[in-house]
Structure 1
Amino acid sequence: MDKTTEASPSSLRWRILRRALLPHRVSQEDKQSRADIDHISRKNSRGFKLIPFEAVTQQGDSASSSKAEARHAVVRYTLPVDGSPKLLLTQRLENQADLHDFEICNTHNIDNTGLVCPWPSEEVLAYFCLSHADMFRCKKVIELGSGYGLAGLVIAAATEASEVVISDGNPQVVDYIKCNIDANLKMFGGTKVMPMMLHWNQTGVSEITNSYDIIVASDCTFFKDFHSGLARMIKSLLKRPGPSESILLSPKRGDSLDKFLDVIAKEGLRFSVAENYDPEIWRRHQGFVNGDNSWPGYEKDHCYPLLVRIMP
């Protein structure tokens, strides 16, 4: 048997890291395992394609551009609603990680996934929010673990929410969020939109405790070490008294989601889980399950986000 086919998911993820840190060195082994690495990484290029997007520019195309500029691209998302409003997001180019990224992760006790790519669950969350825009009207909303902020920006641009906070615990990611808010200010109408650096284990957040009608997040339950912090943060931020809820779109990822829901229950919060929650998302999921090869390596457990609603 070829040794590539015997590789474990963890070893393949280490190869992803190696390829990102040393993009100029591609060994024969790397070439042979590229298919397996692509299968494990499950990047957004193989996502649900619910919101059309296109690359607008790659910053740093000119010979005089700085090394930092050459790491970014601007992507235009066209929202599938009346008027086809467009959002611009600046994001990191794939395979552009460096050691400084991981130094920051160690310093702040965070993960680096927000910089890797826009994850498929974020697009599903954004599409779900578009399809249920009425629930956000005149509400205060916060997105946790936002990455580049697509879902939060969609809510701000298309739902008439009164306030949208787009947060992440990684300071580098928050810089991207600030940039993306500034690039789309004209889209927000009367909605107040703000970036926030927010770590789930952060203390001293009394000024925002019991403040939000709706919390949204996508694919934030993978790392079990962060379950307790995320559950406590959700409990702290949900508005009381009054109706409020948290909307999470997360794949099962083995027992990770179930473990998180155990923690949610221990915090005294109520929850529900739905598998078929939107006809278009379900149709595309069923297509991948039944052989649509536009997403090689599609696995329900790791790729299809369930809808989790959490209430006080």
Structure 2
Amino acid sequence: MTKAIVVEEIGGPDKLVWKDHELARPGPNQLLVRQRAAGLNFIDVYFRKGVYKAPRLPFVPGKEGAGTVVAVGEGVTGFKVGDRVAYAGGEGTYAHEALVPAAQALHLPDAIDEETAAAIMLKGMTAEYLLRRTFKVGPDTVLLFHAAAGGVGVIATQWAKHLGATVIGTAGSPEKCAEALAHGCDHVINYRTDDFVEAVKDLTRGRKCDVVYDSVGRDTFPGSLDCLKRQGLFVSFGQSSGTIENFDLALLNQKGSLFATRPSLYGYTATREELEASARSLFKVVGSGAVKIEIKQSYPVEEARRAHEDLESRRTSGLSVITIQP
């Protein structure tokens, strides 16, 4: 028996309940991990609300975390009791203990602590594939990154600047604009007070952007398309404001023979080799100091409800983490 946040029915943050939770011993190719921290991500909200369908009810939310291996299942190689590990893409990390597929676990470098790892695994590897594989960002790239002061944003904009790009961000308040400027953006547009499409045209002298990264969804569509130069790429990797509806593909033709993609981390880390390569790149850029990690919000796991309320109300900025005490 362990303690966990349990969702017994789909709904609001009030459906996050801290209670006793029965957890099996690790099965074949599984690790039992005593959690030290879990990441806080919008994907957790999507599962809680039913935007994404959970594999079962009840379920324990949380898709990334970090801690120490306390037991290993049959067939596990490469991990032993006492190893510090981090993981993204599993389930059930809002808990004292979690069962983690060994195939999704990664050894933590000595220089990275568990709270930092829990805050960056999903967001940081998302930034990696967005910037290095979905679109290969380099010194000639001009890009727009929505929600630049958000969890993925503060990693991705620093990383993009490290790669030499011209980085334009959007944010929703003067404070968040300042946060984005401090984390790699050359320019930041307050989308609540300014027309971000016109601002992008002005900042680029009409040339517009090679790529737009959009995790906002409904509120920024189709404006994001109007920020792209001819044959530019629209990357929709989330929908914090709601899903994009009635996306007519003819728009891509009308607005300049554009390209569009809806990627996910799991599509870019489907093999062990891809996962390890992505994590190595993340750990390297963080370890070098090129991407600086600052945890802005920290919530005890028992207060996951408040964490979700703050996240959905856009009261958070930067990186957030859920801490778990034994």
TM-score, normalised to structure 2's length? Answer: 0.42
Greater strand proportion: 2
Q: TM-score, normalised by structure 1?
A: 0.44
Flag the structure with higher helix content: 1
